[in-house]
Structure 1
Amino acid sequence: MSLSLLRRACHRVPGPPGRYLRPAAGGPVVVKARRLHDRCSPARNPGPSGMTVSVFARLLGAVALAGFLPGAGPAAAQPGPPAPMDTVEVGLTETVVRALEESPEVDQRQAQKQFATARSEEARANRFLTDVSLSTAHSFAPGLDNVPDGVSGDRLYLQPGVTNDWSPGALRPFSRFEIAVQQPLWTWGELSGSIEAARRGVDVEAARVEQKALEVAVRAGETYYGLILTEALDRLADRTQEVIDRAKREINRLLDEGDEGVSQSDLFQTRLTEEETKRRIVEIEQNQKTARSALRRQLFLSDRMWVEPAADELQPLSFAIHPDSLDYYIGRALQNRPEVEQAEAGVEARRALVDVARSDYYPTIGVQATLSQSITLPERPNPDNAFVGDSFMGTGTRSGIGIQQNLNFGQTRARVEQAEAELDAVQYQRTAAEQLVRFEVEEAYRSLLTAKAAVESRDRSTTIAGEWLRTEQVNFDLDLGNTEDLVKAVRADLQAQAQYLRAVRRYNVAVLDLLRATGTLADRARSGTLLETRDDRE
């Protein structure tokens, strides 16, 4: 098989340019493009070790098996969306913000925060008129019997013969209303401690909301870049299948023409490669459907919606590491991480509850007042006398300063010790939370440095692999190369492309994870500054 024939088989493969994402030296990443057919392997002219179709079939095997079409992970190739489906295009920021707005996990934490807020309002309401109640009683009152003639109602109490008449015909409706009010004057920290503990409880729940928001935000970002990766690998997979189809048709044509450089083994080898590729593509298609569905579920879109990333290419995020590096990010994390805020609020809440427990050592001083009104219809005679009254009629009041002292000092001491122990436990948790945050920030920071170095290295690898492949093309044109070197160059070139795409995805996720570790990811997404080129906000 001649060099020109194999070159025609390769160069007849159409396709859009493959994108290469290369960071400029010391600066942001820029996009460079190369066309696939510029990197397609040529055959060399017949010679002592002339390249045959079997060698070309080995090249196809390299295309399918060198990691170009990964059989696992999020990679997938998938046809375009059905026409009836509505397309929703989202960028990274829109993905994170919508996930935060729609997440039931965040809403659940918000509901718990609302409960804590209501409990705090209840505690504040206890500061004034802590006990205000209205009670009523309804029954029957007796009539009067043996009432002498000519005696006024306000003097009947002076008549010893007058008695209550409980006969059914003499009974009349009776009602009593009583309002009681209690206002504490001095509680030795019980009221103020309860209010402070409830207020800090709101802070704890608010921190838990932000903690869950960070988890949702980074998960949404990972899902978003997972789908973009599948689409990038999909384009590579499509071009690979086109090369295999062209090669199969070329081998069949040569067999029909009776070319001596082609045998049935070449066709069988190509067909086996084709089947392997088809199997991989089917697996990839299902994986990409899963990735797209995962993003749709993350955004809580309808099943009739087709979600599409706004980015056409998988590009590294433009993110400049702060010059103060690790210390800067640890400082930001200690200021912003909700776990630290939650621990701080928990310590203050427990400290306030210790004061509440200690208040039982001292007497509670307060003002109490009651107002009662008794009514009987028809009315009974009510003597207007300061010393004599009728319990079925009239108005009564009581008011004064009261003192209440809990004399169970042993129980009070035990409750104080329990509150102090709980305070100590929360303080230990705060220390542990701070150390955990420091570790997570350092881990995310070093992972980002590793991912950044990997992207730069993989980009250089794609350049080197491309140069190697072009060199082998020139050598074949000049009849100076050998087939084994060409096979190795094709395999290296394809591996470099796929590995670079995966490295970019790992780098972008590492950036998001560092922002999560510093506690700023959700806030930056909400404020629209997620893709700032410098991480120098205070």
Structure 2
Amino acid sequence: MNIKVPLKIVIVLCFTGLTSNASAQDTLQISLADFIQRGLDNSGQVDYERQKVDLAENTIDEARAQRFLPKFELNTQHGTVPGVKSNNPNLPKDEYYLDPNLENDWENWAIFTRAEVSAIQPIFAWGALTNAVEAAKAGAEAAQYEFQSKKTGLHIRLYELYYSYILSQEVNRLVLEAQDKIDEIEKQIDEKVDEKDSDIDQSDVYKFQVFKSEFAMRAGEVQENIEYIRNVWNYVLQSGPETVYTPTDQFLDPVSNKIETLDYYKSQALERRAELKGIEAGIDAAEHGIKATRAQNLPMLFLGITGSYANTPNRPRQDNPFIINNTNYASGGFGIGIRQNLDFFSAKTDIEKRQIQYKQAKFLKNAAVDGIMLEISDRYKNANISEVKVDKTDEALVTSKKWLRQEQLDYDFGIGETKDLIDAMQKELELRLQLKQRIFEFNKDMAELYISAGLPVTSLQTAN
């Protein structure tokens, strides 16, 4: 008997916090959709990927900010300076600039303050700023689709983990049923051994004892697997010590969704896959990037504004507009200017770089489509093979049940062999376990096929 419970579920799930057991616990049922959603909400990996989307959206705000006063600066200077004095008592202070012998007054100090404001407002830039904003929007859209793709990858792992719990419960029930049959056969063997005229072969007794010990070892493995899966569930759901979650579905049945044609899944993938939508958004971003780069190398018309003010109390302000006292004055101005990038070789290189990025994005889409088509073909094949395995294993199980029933009747009437009864019972148990395992694999293959086609795994329905 070979019992395998898939546990390769949480390798890429990065959650925080651990749960502990408690004596008093509430048992709550959780559906597949709620389990996946809670797993995503608690995922550190999802939080990390979401920050990439936030950064991309921040780039949009940054590009928009360049359209209005991209340069708006204020500079101030502060210090202490001496006053001035003139040896001509008849000279007014506002005419001190006429005194060629004007001197610093080192006994009269004051605080010097100067503030300068400058701003530039683009008026016409040949669409450079608009295309920069559109490129940032497309980049943010691509980041959003990439985020959806990352979450989809976690969907399949959470789906597998959810049904691993159900599979472990099914295996546990089969083990308990098999234990009852083993106990019953052991009782019958003991009764025959006690009979004086019994013709039971001692070697069959030894074989049964070996089988019983091996079964007990496998049963112990099943219990350890169940405990492991429960701990992983607590880890994913971040449930407190007072709460235990169990699946809404108690039995593992194959999904009832019919396997459609291969072309159906391929067409769905071309329409739904987030990776393709993200690449298309990346192509738009590259195209707008080319336009923005070309426009940036054309003359830009802008409005410039400047203002400056300085004040020093111990120095006189000069009213003559042709005379500027750097420590006590006020001035301002505005005008229209043209900015032109004269580094033509660098500009040409930038445009070529953008064009290469655009071609790269186009080729990436073609490569992605090829990869997705191959992936769907492979998973479509796996789903069909798994479906056949489920059907044939179910047929074999029906036959094994008839065989076990016949061997049990022969044994009860004293015409059967213990070895044949043990073989029939072992084969029937192995097929029951194998059937559940193959149902699990079929459901997982169907989920992977749906993910490849861009379909939600929550749309898979089990035939209860």
The two structures share one fold, judged by TM-score above 0.5: yes
- The C-alpha deviation readout for 1:352-405, integer Å capped at 9, x for no partner, is 222333235322221111111111134x32232322232211211122112222
Task: Report deviation, 1:105.
Answer: 1.1
> Does the Cα contact within 8 Å between 1:90 and 1:310 map onto a contact in 2?
yes
> Does the Cα contact within 8 Å between 1:142 and 1:164 map onto a contact in 2?
no
Give the structure 2 partner of residue 132 of structure 1. Answer: 72
Task: Report deviation, 1:295.
Answer: 3.0
Give the structure 1 partner of residue 199 of structure 2. Answer: 261
> Does the Cα contact within 8 Å between 2:171 and 2:222 map onto a contact in 1?
no
Residue 451 of structure 2 aligns to which amino acid in structure 1?
A: R
Secondary structure at 1:142 match in 2? strand
Give the structure 1 partner of residue 396 of structure 2. Answer: 461
> Does the Cα contact within 8 Å between 2:4 and 2:437 map onto a contact in 1?
no
Residue 209 of structure 2 aligns to which amino acid in structure 1?
A: R
Give the structure 2 partner of residue 349 of structure 1. Answer: 285
The CA distance in 2 between the partners of 1:303 and 1:102, in whole Å, is 17
The CA distance in 1 between the partners of 2:154 and 2:242, in whole Å, is 23
* Aligned residue among 5, 11, 33 for 1:93: 33
The CA distance in 2 between the partners of 1:269 and 1:455, in whole Å, is 31
Residue 149 of structure 2 aligns to which amino acid in structure 1?
A: Q
* 2:223 matches 1:288: no
The CA distance in 1 between the partners of 2:450 and 2:311, in whole Å, is 71
The CA distance in 1 between the partners of 2:62 and 2:383, in whole Å, is 47
Task: Report deviation, 1:232.
Answer: 0.7
* Aligned residue among 234, 254, 261 for 1:316: 254
Give the structure 2 partner of residue 370 of structure 1. Answer: 306
Q: 1:250 to 1:310 in 2, by over 3 A?
A: same
The CA distance in 1 between the partners of 2:207 and 2:387, in whole Å, is 40
Residue 347 of structure 1 aligns to which amino acid in structure 2?
A: I
- The C-alpha deviation readout for 1:504-525, integer Å capped at 9, x for no partner, is 111221222122112232xx75
Secondary structure at 1:95 match in 2? helix
Q: 1:174 to 1:460 in 2, by over 3 A?
A: same
Task: Report deviation, 1:349.
Answer: 1.8
Give the structure 2 partner of residue 78 of structure 1. Answer: none
Give the structure 2 partner of residue 8 of structure 1. Answer: none
Secondary structure at 1:442 match in 2? helix
* 2:455 matches 1:515: no
> Does the Cα contact within 8 Å between 2:163 and 2:440 map onto a contact in 1?
yes
Please identify, of 222-231 and 457-466, the stretch whose mean Cα deviation from structure 2 is larger. Answer: 457-466
> Does the Cα contact within 8 Å between 1:183 and 1:366 map onto a contact in 2?
yes
The CA distance in 2 between the partners of 1:295 and 1:151, in whole Å, is 93
Q: 1:376 to 1:82 in 2, by over 3 A?
A: closer
Q: 1:440 to 1:147 in 2, by over 3 A?
A: farther
Task: Report deviation, 1:98.
Answer: 1.1
Residue 513 of structure 1 aligns to which amino acid in structure 2?
A: E
* 2:233 matches 1:298: no
Secondary structure at 1:397 match in 2? strand
Please identify, of 117-126 and 361-370, the stretch whose mean Cα deviation from structure 2 is larger. Answer: 361-370
> Does the Cα contact within 8 Å between 1:194 and 1:356 map onto a contact in 2?
yes
Give the structure 1 partner of residue 276 of structure 2. Answer: 340
* 2:151 matches 1:203: no
* Aligned residue among 172, 175, 180 for 1:242: 180
> Does the Cα contact within 8 Å between 1:371 and 1:397 map onto a contact in 2?
yes
The CA distance in 2 between the partners of 1:394 and 1:530, in whole Å, is 78
- The C-alpha deviation readout for 1:82-125, integer Å capped at 9, x for no partner, is 74344342221221111122111111110111111112211111
> Does the Cα contact within 8 Å between 2:86 and 2:99 map onto a contact in 1?
no
User: What percent of counterpart residues are identical?
Assistant: 27
Secondary structure at 1:188 match in 2? coil
> Does the Cα contact within 8 Å between 2:257 and 2:460 map onto a contact in 1?
no
Secondary structure at 1:135 match in 2? strand
Q: 1:247 to 1:492 in 2, by over 3 A?
A: closer
**Where does 1:421-432 land on structure 2 (aligned, <5 Å)?**
421-432=356-367
* 2:207 matches 1:272: no
* Aligned residue among 117, 125, 141 for 2:81: 141
- The C-alpha deviation readout for 1:432-462, integer Å capped at 9, x for no partner, is 1112122222333333233333333333333
Q: 1:355 to 1:335 in 2, by over 3 A?
A: same
Q: 1:280 to 1:321 in 2, by over 3 A?
A: closer
* 2:126 matches 1:191: no
Task: Report deviation, 1:492.
Answer: 4.4
Q: Give the count of matched residue pairs.
A: 450
* 2:352 matches 1:417: yes
Q: 1:530 to 1:93 in 2, by over 3 A?
A: farther
Give the structure 1 partner of residue 337 of structure 2. Answer: 402
> Does the Cα contact within 8 Å between 1:109 and 1:205 map onto a contact in 2?
no
* Aligned residue among 122, 142, 167 for 1:229: 167
Task: Report deviation, 1:234.
Answer: 1.1
Q: 1:496 to 1:271 in 2, by over 3 A?
A: closer
- The C-alpha deviation readout for 1:158-206, integer Å capped at 9, x for no partner, is 4444x24152x22211111111111112333432232222222211211
Give the structure 1 partner of residue 432 of structure 2. Answer: 497
The CA distance in 2 between the partners of 1:464 and 1:268, in whole Å, is 27
- The C-alpha deviation readout for 1:308-346, integer Å capped at 9, x for no partner, is 222111122232445xx3323222212221211221122
Unpaired stretches in structure 2, ≥5 consecutive residues:
8-20
The CA distance in 1 between the partners of 2:241 and 2:149, in whole Å, is 29
The CA distance in 1 between the partners of 2:234 and 2:342, in whole Å, is 63
Unpaired stretches in structure 1, ≥5 consecutive residues:
1-66, 76-80, 534-538
* Aligned residue among 441, 452, 475 for 2:387: 452
The CA distance in 2 between the partners of 1:191 and 1:104, in whole Å, is 36
Give the structure 2 partner of residue 435 of structure 1. Answer: 370
Secondary structure at 1:268 match in 2? helix
The CA distance in 1 between the partners of 2:446 and 2:288, in whole Å, is 40
Give the structure 2 partner of residue 393 of structure 1. Answer: 328
Task: Report deviation, 1:71.
Answer: 4.2
Give the structure 2 partner of residue 13 of structure 1. Answer: none
* Aligned residue among 169, 173, 188 for 2:111: 173
The CA distance in 1 between the partners of 2:103 and 2:149, in whole Å, is 72
